[in-house]
Amino acid sequence: MTGFVGKRAPLVLAVHLSVLLLVLIWTIPTIGLFVSSIRDKDQLATSGWWTALSTSQQNVVGRAAAPDQQVERDGNYVLSGNVLDGQSGKVVAFGWRSQEPAAFEPGTVAEMRDGETMTVAENGDYQLVSPAEWTGNRGPRIFYTAATPPRFTLENYREVLTAEGIGRSFINSLTVAVPATMIPIMIAAFAAYALAWMEFPGRTLLIAAIVGLLVVPLQMSLIPLLKLYNSVGAIFGVGAKTYLGIWLAHTGFGLPLAIYLLRNYIVGLPREIMDSARVDGASDYEIFMRIVLPLSFPAIASFAIFQFLWVWNDLLVAIVFLGNNEEQLVLTGRLRELLGSRGGNWEILTAAAFVTIVVPLIVFFSLQRFLVRGLLAGSVKGG
C-alpha cells in the first residue's frame, strides 16, 4: 500500500502542475489586457504591458516655440520653453537632426547651422539661440529621448463610457442577447426530452442530423439565411433588419448544441422516476414540466452561459441581420465605430474589452456552479 501511494504522489503533483500551467496560460493574457487598459496611451504604444512598472524610454519629436515668441538677448534671438510640457520624466538625450536624434547628452550645447545652437536640459528646458531672427510659422524641431515613469490613467475607460450612443448600444445588445438565449433553450428542452424518452420513427436519424449540424460553419449559412429572410419579409411586408430576424438566426445557430447537451443530460436521468410518474397517470408534458425540467437545470445553465457569451460578443451576425443602423447598433458594433475606418485610437480596445465583459461575468458567476456538472453529464452520458 505504501508503494502504491509513493508511486501516485508524483502523478498527483504532475496533474496539479499541469492545471496550474493551464490557469496561467489563460490568466496572463487577461492580466496583460487589464494592465494595458489603464496605461497611458503613449506608453502603451511604445512598450509592452510587462514593462508597465518600469521606467520607459520614448523617442519624441517636439517643436520649439514659434518665431513670434522669440526674445532678443545680447544681440542674439532666443527661443525657449520645455519639451516635456509639464509631464513627469526626464530627457536622456537630444538632437536637432532626424539622422541623429540622440546625438547629445542633456545640458550639452549642440552646434546647428549658421551659428545657431540648441541646448536641452534634463528637466526638459530648452534654449535655441540664433544670431539672426528666427523666421517661419513654426519653431525648429527638437528630437529627444524621454525617460518617463509608469503612468496609469482611467482615460481609456472614460473615453469608451462617454462615447455617443454607448448606452443605447448596451440596451440593444441586451435586447438581442436575452431572447436569443431563452428561445433556443425553450425549443431545445422540448426537443431533447422527445429525443431522449419518446419513441417515434426516425429518432436516430434526427439525433445524427443534429450532431452533424454542430460542424456546419456559421459563415456558410449567413447569406442564404439573409436571402430567405428577405424573401419571407417581402411576402409578409416585414423587413429583414429586425430583432426578430436576429433572434431566429441565433436560435438556429444555437439549437444543435443545445439539443445535443440537453438530450445527453436528460437521457441519463433515472428511468425509475419516469416509470413511477407514468404509473401515477402523468402525461409526457407533465413529466417534462414537473420532473425533467427541474432536474435538467445544470445542463440548461451550462448552455445558457455559452449561448449568452456567444451572442453578447457577436459582431458578424449582428451586422448581417441588423446592419449599422444607429438605432439598432449593438455594443460590439459601437466599439468598432469608435476605432474609425483606419483603426485610430486602437488603445481604447483594451478598455472596451473590459467594458463588454462586465455583463458576461455577472452571468457566468451566477451560473458557474452548474457549469461543470452540466457539461460533464452532457458529455459522458448518452443512450
Are residue 173 and residue 281 in the same domain, yes or no? yes
Phi-psi region of 202 (alpha: psi -120 to 50; beta: other; left: phi over 0): left
Distance between CA atoms of residues 232 and 183, nearest Å:
20
Domain CATH for 266: 1.10.3720.10
Hey, what's the cell of 285?
408534458
- Which of helix, strand or coil describes residue 100? strand
Are residue 137 and residue 174 in the same domain, yes or no? no
Are residue 113 and residue 92 in the same domain, yes or no? yes
Distance between CA atoms of residues 138 and 157, nearest Å:
34
Asked if 80 and 126 touch (Cβ cutoff 8 Å), the reply is yes
DSSP-derived pairing of the beta strands 56-63 and 109-111: unpaired
Phi, psi of 340, deg, nearest 5: 80, 170
For the whole model, what pTM was predicted?
0.71
Asked if 73 and 168 touch (Cβ cutoff 8 Å), the reply is no
Please report how many Cα atoms fall inside a 13 Å half-sphere around the Cα of residue 88, on the Cβ side: 9
Residue ranges of the alpha helices (H) in the chain?
Answer: 2-37, 41-46, 155-161, 166-197, 203-213, 218-236, 243-266, 271-279, 284-287, 293-295, 297-312, 316-322, 331-339, 348-356, 358-380
Q: What is the pLDDT of residue 343?
A: 55
Asked if 63 and 81 touch (Cβ cutoff 8 Å), the reply is no
Are residue 220 and residue 285 in the same domain, yes or no? yes
How many C-beta atoms lie closer than 10 Å to residue 36's C-beta? 20
Q: What is the pLDDT of residue 142?
A: 93
User: Which residues contact residue 341 at a Cβ distance below 8 angstroms, ignoring those fewer than 6 apart?
Assistant: none
Are residue 167 and residue 199 in the same domain, yes or no? yes
Are residue 92 and residue 197 in the same domain, yes or no? no
Tell which of 149, 171, 197 closes a domain: 149
Are residue 212 and residue 295 in the same domain, yes or no? yes
pLDDT in tens, the chain (383 residues): 455 455 567 788 888 889 899 888 888 888 888 888 888 887 887 778 888 888 888 888 889 999 989 999 888 999 999 998 877 889 999 999 888 888 999 999 999 988 899 999 999 999 999 999 998 888 899 999 988 888 888 888 888 888 878 888 999 999 999 999 999 999 999 999 999 888 888 888 988 888 888 888 888 888 887 787 777 765 555 556 788 888 988 998 999 999 998 998 888 888 888 888 888 888 888 888 888 888 888 888 888 988 999 999 998 888 888 877 778 889 888 888 877 644 556 778 888 888 888 888 888 888 777 766 655 554 444 44
Distances (CA, A) of 9 to 5, 13, 14, 15, 137: 6, 6, 9, 10, 77
Are residue 98 and residue 211 in the same domain, yes or no? no
Are residue 140 and residue 246 in the same domain, yes or no? no
Distance between CA atoms of residues 300 and 285, nearest Å:
18
Q: What is the pLDDT of residue 379?
A: 45
Tell which of 149, 184, 218 closes a domain: 149
User: Which residues contact residue 193 at a Cβ distance below 8 angstroms, ignoring those fewer than 6 apart?
Assistant: 266, 284, 288, 292
Query: Which range marks the domain in which residue 68 is found?
Result: 56-149
Are residue 192 and residue 302 in the same domain, yes or no? yes
Tell which of 110, 125, 149 closes a domain: 149
Are residue 187 and residue 325 in the same domain, yes or no? yes
Number of domains within the chain: 3
Are residue 132 and residue 205 in the same domain, yes or no? no
